[in-house]
Structure 1
Amino acid sequence: MFFTYLRRELRRRRKAALVVASGLALGIALVIVVTSVSSGMNGAQDKVLQSLYGLGTDMTVTKAATPATGSAQRPRFRFDAQDDDSGKEQSSDHVLVQGFTTLPSSTVGKVAGQRGVAGAVGGLSLTVVKVSGQFTRGRIQQNQGGDQPGGYGGGPPQGRVAGGGADFDVNQYTVYGTDVTEPALGPLTSSKITSGRAFQKTETDAKVAVADSAYAKEEKLEVGDTVTIKGVKFTIVGIATADSGAAAANLYIPLKRAQTLSGTKDKVTTIYVKATDSQQIDAVKKTIQKNVSGTTVTTSADLADTVSGSLSTASHLAAGVGKWLSAVVLAAAFLVAGLLTSSAVSRRVREFGTLKALGWRSGRVTRQVVGEAVVNGLVGGVLGIALGLAGAYAVTAASPTLQAQLGGGGATGGGPGGPGFGGPGRQAARTLEVALTAPVSATTIALAVGLAVTGGLIAGAFGGWRASRLRPADALRRVE
């Protein structure tokens, strides 16, 4: 009887039911789109962070940089220009530890042994500055006294040097020494090998390198080519493409080789740490800071606070304005649905009075009204989910490009290949571009269903309260 009457009443009042359902649908659709876009913002930010410190890394451990004294940290290039060097190519390169003071390699083991640490691996970030070019010897041009006062000749021969000089080019690129025995951690994990192969665990001291795809394209490098770093030739065994934004370094080489080139034996600049439980990252951070002195521990959450640019702006809008707008629209939709349901009850006074006269109790009339409102809410939920999915799909299909800037001052410092995750001394700002998507999760769908049912119950509560107050005698005296 309940469902039969429910079906008949909904069919008889299709227009009113559609208006209520449409209002709820708009509110629910907006909630889905805003929630999905916010999720996409978080995913985009995660991609930006992973491009700096690698997939699976929860925090890094570094040592605070100390101000350089004298010329110890400044590259010096010496060239001897001999008579027989004219026109000959000369080059010299200098390998610098990038942005940090170093930590002993033994610190990696200390960090790995801390409670809550699932794994730790060290890395060495380097900058190579190469100067190459040639000297050209000048030629002496002589004048036979022609420049003497009065224009008289016969004076001593006069001469000057014409031409000659030096033409040198400065090339700078980044090199990252990676622990090839632990391929699951570190910045190289944020890139995918698209040509050739990755490092083998046995190549701890091999003269091999993996090149970033953008750098390889710029320098016209391919698998099998060689690059020379401080007189040592490295064979390129693979080309890696960053999953998002810029790569951590232009070239990756085994850690031991990087230490030899830079003269920092048994030293690392960064320790990448993976926690056993992602919910305990803050606790692990405190443990490392307490037990491993002289280090700075930075989590991905710390670095996320330094992200600026259009990604940060859009994220704030989605989290602030978007959510407040969704709440206001949803509240308005619930209120309108309740008022429309209450108004519909007032137009059905004679009907409900007749039902009460036939023996229906107030509770049964109320349940009937609430049942109709819940069905309207579910219909609105279905329409809202459809509209929300369409909106999220449109955002994903458009894939607007957002910029994220990291670095450029502040207390948090550079990471491998540029500014980012780590200690003080951050370098110039680094800009990355990411495509925005709007993924819809099962949780979002469940939220939409919950909102639909809630909207129906709220509307039913308005109408049910109104219906429960009707008296049969008063209702029967009214004429529609």
Structure 2
Amino acid sequence: MFFTYLRRELRRRRKAALVVASGLALGIALVIIVSSVSSGMSKAQDKVLESLYGLGTDMTVTKAAAAPGSSTQRPRFEFDAKGDDSEQSSDRVMVQGFQTLSSTTVDKVGKQSGVADAVGGLSLNVLKVDGQFKRGEFKQNGNAGATGQRGPGGEGGTTQPQGEVQGGGASFDVNSYTVYGTDVTKQDLGPLTSSKITKGRTFKATETDAEVAVVDASYAKQKKLAVGKTVTVSGTKYKIVGVSTADSGDAAANLYIPLKQAQTLADAKNKVTTVYVKAADSQQIDSVKSAIQKNISGTTVTTSADLADTVSGSLSTASDLATSVGKWLSIAVLVAAFLVAGLLTSSAVSRRVREFGTLKALGWKSGRVTRQVVGEALVNGLMGGVLGIAVGLAGAYVVTAISPTLTAQLGGSGGGGGMAGGPGGMGGPARQAASKSLDIALTAPVSLSTILIAVALAVAGGLIAGAFGGWRASRLRPADALRRVE
């Protein structure tokens, strides 16, 4: 009887049911779209951060920033003096940021409570100068042979030909590229994890001091490098065993070599620039950070959340809008949809006074009438949920299909020591990133949890609307109802 009456009443009041369902659908669809876009923003920011320090890294430990005014190294280039014209080439290998930590710091960090794993890396910047010195040529004047001048001593002096030195000089080209020394025994942590090996292979655990290298795909294309070829860094030839492609499109370094080889190139034995840390529990990152800062002096600990604060540009602006304006807008629309559904249901009950009065006169109790009204409202809510989920999925699909490009400016604040010494430039990402930007394509992934939330909202909307109508129906008295005429 319940379902028969329910089906008949919904069919008889199709327009009213459609209005209630459409209002709920609008609010639910907006919640789905905002949630999916916010999820896409979060993934985009994660991709930006992973391009700096790699997948799975929760924080980095670097040497504390040097005091203002302290002296830093300056690159010096020395060339052999040769009597004839010849090409000259010189490499200057420098530790990025000019600040290093002892390799023992990696072990100290790894022993801290809450640390699941820690690995060290050495980030280098190589300045390569190539060019040629060209000797000038002495050219005599046309009449120099006839009017040569006597040298000192009068007639007995030698004749000085008249003329000038022409041509000569020097022409040099300066190139800069980054090299990252990675611990080949722990390749599941650090910047290289943000790239995929697309050609060749990655390092073997036994190649701790081997002259092998993995080159970034963009750099390999620019310099025409390939697997099997060699690349020379400061006089040492490294065989390219693999080509990596960064997930975000911007790699942490141009070239990756074993950590010991990097330490040898930079004359930085047993030194690292960055310690990459993975926490045992993502909920305890702040406490792990505090423990490291307290127990290991002279270091700066930067978490992924700290680095996220340095991300600016259209990605940051859009993310702020999605999390603030979008969230409150969706809540406001949802609340309005619930109120409208409740008021429309209550109004519909008022127009059905005679009907409900007759049912009560026939023996229906108030509880049964209330359940009937709530059932109708719940079905309207579920219909609105199905419609809202469909519209929300369509909206998320459109955003993903259009895939608007957002720009992320890294380290716009030029923060103190954040990620100092890490890949990406002089002084690490947070210092060099002011001139580094990434273009990220926005997607709007819809998760199962978002769908479940939408279903819950649909049920809640139906129950709220049913509560309005049920309360109104429960107050009806058969005698009063029968005196009214629709």
What's the TM-score once normalised by structure 2's chain length?
0.93
* 1:154 CA drift (Å): 6.6
Q: Following the alignment from structure 2 to structure 1, what is the Cα–Cα distance between the partners of residues 257 and 68?
A: 26
Within-5 A mapping of 1:44-443 = 44-66=44-66, 73-84=73-84, 86=85, 88-143=86-141, 157-408=161-412, 409-411=414-416, 412-414=418-420, 416-418=422-424, 425-426=431-432, 428-443=434-449
Ranges in structure 2 where 5+ consecutive residues have no aligned partner: 150-159
Aligned length: 473
Partner of 1:31: 31
Partner of 1:149: none
* 1:216 CA drift (Å): 0.3
* 1:70 CA drift (Å): 8.9
Aligned-partner SS, 1:83: coil
> CA contact under 8 A between 1:413 and 1:427: conserved in structure 2?
no
Q: Which moved more, 1:429-438 or 1:115-124?
A: 429-438
Q: Following the alignment from structure 1 to structure 2, what is the Cα–Cα distance between the partners of residues 13 and 71?
A: 82
Q: Following the alignment from structure 2 to structure 1, what is the Cα–Cα distance between the partners of residues 201 and 52?
A: 21
Please say if 1:449 is aligned against 2:447.
no
* 1:289 CA drift (Å): 1.1
Q: Following the alignment from structure 1 to structure 2, what is the Cα–Cα distance between the partners of residues 195 and 229?
A: 21
Q: Following the alignment from structure 2 to structure 1, what is the Cα–Cα distance between the partners of residues 429 and 333?
A: 45
> CA contact under 8 A between 1:144 and 1:157: conserved in structure 2?
no
Structure 1 residues 407-457: Cα deviation after superposition (integer angstroms, max 9, x where no partner): 242323545332599697545431112221111112111111111111111
Residues 28, 420 of structure 1: alpha-carbon distance in 2 compared, 3 angstrom cutoff: farther
Ranges in structure 1 where 5+ consecutive residues have no aligned partner: 147-151
Aligned-partner SS, 2:97: coil
Structure 1 residues 146-203: Cα deviation after superposition (integer angstroms, max 9, x where no partner): 8xxxxx9675642211111101110110000000011111100110000011000111
Q: Following the alignment from structure 1 to structure 2, what is the Cα–Cα distance between the partners of residues 281 and 60?
A: 11
Aligned-partner SS, 2:437: strand
Identity value in percent = 75
Q: Following the alignment from structure 2 to structure 1, what is the Cα–Cα distance between the partners of residues 186 and 351?
A: 74
Q: Following the alignment from structure 2 to structure 1, what is the Cα–Cα distance between the partners of residues 419 and 233?
A: 26
Q: Following the alignment from structure 1 to structure 2, what is the Cα–Cα distance between the partners of residues 63 and 153?
A: 71
CA RMSD of aligned residues (A): 2.0
Q: Which moved more, 1:415-424 or 1:274-283?
A: 415-424
Q: Which moved more, 1:154-163 or 1:468-477?
A: 154-163
Q: Following the alignment from structure 2 to structure 1, what is the Cα–Cα distance between the partners of residues 126 and 345?
A: 73
Residues 421, 467 of structure 1: alpha-carbon distance in 2 compared, 3 angstrom cutoff: farther
* 1:67 CA drift (Å): 5.9
Q: Following the alignment from structure 2 to structure 1, what is the Cα–Cα distance between the partners of residues 6 and 121?
A: 69
> CA contact under 8 A between 2:72 and 2:98: conserved in structure 1?
no
Q: Following the alignment from structure 2 to structure 1, what is the Cα–Cα distance between the partners of residues 207 and 105?
A: 22
Aligned-partner SS, 2:324: helix
What's the TM-score once normalised by structure 1's chain length?
0.94
Partner of 1:21: 21
> CA contact under 8 A between 1:62 and 1:422: conserved in structure 2?
no
Partner of 2:152: none
* 1:72 CA drift (Å): 5.7
Aligned-partner SS, 2:445: coil
